[in-house]
Structure 1
Amino acid sequence: MTGVILAGGKNRRMNGKIKALLTFGGETLLQRQIREMKPVCDELFLVTNQPEHFTPLIGGEVQLIGDDIPAKGPLSGMHAAFSRAGHRDVWVVGCDMPFISGAVAQALADCKHRRNCDAVVPVIDGRLHPLHGVYSRECADVIVELLRKDFCQVKQFLQKIDWQTADNSFFLKRGFDLHFVLNVNTPEQYEKALALFKNKLKEQQLSRRTDHNLPPI
């Protein structure tokens, strides 16, 4: 599928720090996202109006693109990416999401095919998370019509397409950690995400040690 990272916005709530360049475990959030997306996406787009900040980090593995219809929020970036996507399935994430999951994205894409719909979007604890949804690239035509009428909200876009939800039970019964929708908009949220990251790392290390000490089956 095609993967899309939306890196617009002015980062005001992060005191001007570029969220995609925040560090997690010795790498930037952006590098962490690219590493997670590459196994399921053989085409990756980074949509940004500040390409100079990201070019040194991505090499040739990610295509940097800008908005064709600027200053319209996430829908601008989604339109730019959908219009260029080489695959029908397009996985969209925000650049401030440290725990995105390629396995979740593949499950959403599979669900989209089974239900024969335009998109599948996570709804966790009753809250909609359109960034980490999987969409059909043909949705670009719907978005451009909305933007021409100055309708810029993702919810307005969803009202115009055939989309389905994937709720807590969808993910939990497949063993997925629900933190994949977590994002960091403020320094406080960043610190909490870092603490969560460190806890997850400790759990993984403990699990490896425990498994190592198990007798062979």
Structure 2
Amino acid sequence: MQKKENITGIILAGGKSSRMGSDKSLLTYNKVSFIQHVLNAMKPLVEDIIIVSNSNTHDKFGYKRVEDIIKDSGPLAGIHSGLSQSPTDYNLVLSCDIPLIKTEILEVLVHSDYTNYDVVQIQSGEKTMPLIALYHKRCSVKCKALLDEGERRLRVAVKQLNTKSIIINSQWEDFVKNINTIDDLKEIEYAVKH
């Protein structure tokens, strides 16, 4: 396991949020913005944090913000941009739309044997989660090559990299769900309360 100072946190907050109708990162859960929930879960495990976003509204969180190098090309481009600017080899990459994420779930990644892999991602049931994952900085090269070919699907990149999936305890399934719609938000609020 690397020390915390050898891991940078990267939050992808540049999505269009077309299904939600507004910037998902700034939506609130329990009166706290989604992105702040993600920051809070990530902070104990990393030395630095980078927010990948083309909007200066994210400057208020007080972390380095980088814009997409290749615009309008989804999370693959976001990861490429974040890794390109990261000062460390290992990077904890999270999307901004997982407000229930907990530090103890992320610890599963940072306490794993990840140094022999390009990517170590969470798996919940049958679903792999490349936006709750550790990425080596060298993954940026593969991301860029695929983007140059017109490929935008992150899962295509992950399949071409040396990737390990860690299956999490079923009790955490609701905590790793991403929120794309108002209904998704209502559903997880209900699930967590019952």
Q: TM-score, normalised by structure 1?
A: 0.80
Which residue of structure 2 lines up, in the alignment, with residue 79 of structure 1?
80
Identity %: 27
Residues 106 and 89 (structure 1), Cα distance of their counterparts in 2 relative to 1, 3 Å cut: farther
Aligned to 2:182: 187
Instruction: Measure the CA separation in 1 of the matches of 2:123 and 2:172.
Output: 14
Between the aligned partners of 1:89 and 1:107, the Cα distance in structure 2 is 15
Give, in whole Å, the separation in 1 of the partners of 2:25 and 2:72.
Answer: 19
Distance 1:23 1:40 in 2: 23
| Other-structure match for 2:14 | 8
Query: Aligned residue for 1:213?
Result: none
Residues 4 and 93 of structure 1 are in contact (CA less than 8 Å); yes or no, is this contact kept in structure 2?
yes
Q: Which has the larger Rg? A: 1
Asked whether the 8 Å contact 2:9–2:42 carries over to 1, the reply is: yes
The DSSP-based 3-state class of the residue aligned with 2:122 is strand
* 1:180/1:89 CA distance change after superposition, 3 Å: farther
How far off its partner does 1:83 sit? 0.9
**Contact 2:52–2:65, Cα closer than 8 Å, also in 1:** yes
The structural deviation recorded for 1:176 is 6.4
| 1:17-36 pair list within 5 angstroms | 17-36=22-41
Q: Tell me the secondary structure at the aligned position of residue 9 of structure 2.
A: strand
> Does the 8 A contact of 2:114 with 2:120 survive in 1?
no
- Which stretches of structure 1, 4 residues or more, deviate above 6 A after TM superposition? none
Which secondary structure does the structure 2 equivalent of 1:177 belong to?
helix
What amino acid sits opposite 1:134 in the alignment?
Answer: L
Number of equivalent positions: 188
Q: Within the alignment, does 1:42 sit opposite 2:47 as a pair? A: yes
Q: Distance in 2 between matches of 1:103 and 1:176?
A: 12
**1:81 and 1:29 mapped to 2: Cα distance?**
19
Instruction: Say whether the 8 Å CA contact 1:40–1:106 is kept in structure 2.
Output: yes
Measured in 1, the distance between the counterparts of 2:17 and 2:121 equals: 25
Distance 2:171 2:80 in 1: 29
Question: Does structure 2 conserve the Cα–Cα contact (< 8 Å) formed by 1:89 and 1:109?
Answer: no
The CA RMSD over aligned residues, in Å, is 1.9
Q: 3-state SS of the aligned residue for 1:157?
A: helix
* Alignment check: 8 A CA contact 1:105 1:134 kept: no
**TM-score, structure 2 as length reference:** 0.88
For structure 2, which runs of at least 5 residues remain unmatched after alignment? 1-6
Residue 30 of structure 1 aligns with an amino acid whose one-letter code is I
Q: Residue 12 of structure 2 contacts residue 53 of structure 2 at CA under 8 Å; is this kept in 1?
A: yes
CA-to-aligned-CA distance 1:175-197 (integer Å, 9 cap, x gap): 96233321110111112223345
| 1: CA distance, partners of 2:100 / 2:134 | 16
Go from structure 1 to structure 2 and tell me whether the alpha carbon gap of 1:109 and 1:176 turns closer, same or farther (over 3 Å shift). farther
Q: Which moved more, 1:188-197 or 1:145-154?
A: 188-197
